[in-house]
Amino acid sequence: MTASPLAALGEEPESIKPIPAEKTAQGFRLLALRCHHKDGAPPSFALIDQRIFRAPDRASRHGLHFGLAFRPEIMSWLIDRIGRPSLVGNRPPQRNPEWPTIVWRGADRRWPDDVRTTEWFAEVAFASQAHAEAFAERWGKRLAGETGD
């Protein structure tokens, strides 16, 4: 297991407090979910109290599914600036190439007292630097882990 870049923030493994997003080339990486591992027990999950992505509605009947969807106010803001996530018209629907891509990235982490977690980050990449900068300007407080807009 590798050391987490978040270790310097001094948070505890049980904490769900938002952690500031890490800036990437054309987007950001945000801690959204922490999975706790304990020998002999099923994993448990803690949703980080961030305000960029929606919390999952519920577990599916076949286990857990954690999709990544922006909160409604962020979806509206993105649609106003870059259009809907999919394009329709005289052709079959297709992904809007201007829409940001979002993927999950996991990182194993070992805490004191032999606590083990997997930290799940949402990585967002915008199609252009201009989109990334506009998003960071508008939603900067949330990206910084603050509660106000």
pLDDT tens-digit readout, 20-59: 999 999 999 999 989 999 888 888 888 889 999 988 765 5
How far apart (Å, rounded) are the C-alpha atoms in residues 24 and 21?
9
pTM, rounded to two decimals: 0.83
Q: Report the pLDDT averaged over residues 107-129.
A: 93
Q: How confident is the model at residue 133 (pLDDT cuts 50, 70, 90)?
A: very high
Lowest mean pLDDT among 56-70, 112-126, 130-144: 56-70
**Token digits for 49?**
């109290």
In one letter, which amino acid is 21? A
How far apart (Å, rounded) are the C-alpha atoms in residues 108 and 3?
8
Contacts of residue 1, defined as CB under 8 A and 6 or more positions apart, other chains included, come to 108, 109, 110, 116
Per-residue confidence (pLDDT) for residue 47, from 0 to 100:
87
Look-up of token digits 């999952």? 56
C-alpha angle with apex 16: 11 to 18, nearest 5 degrees? 80
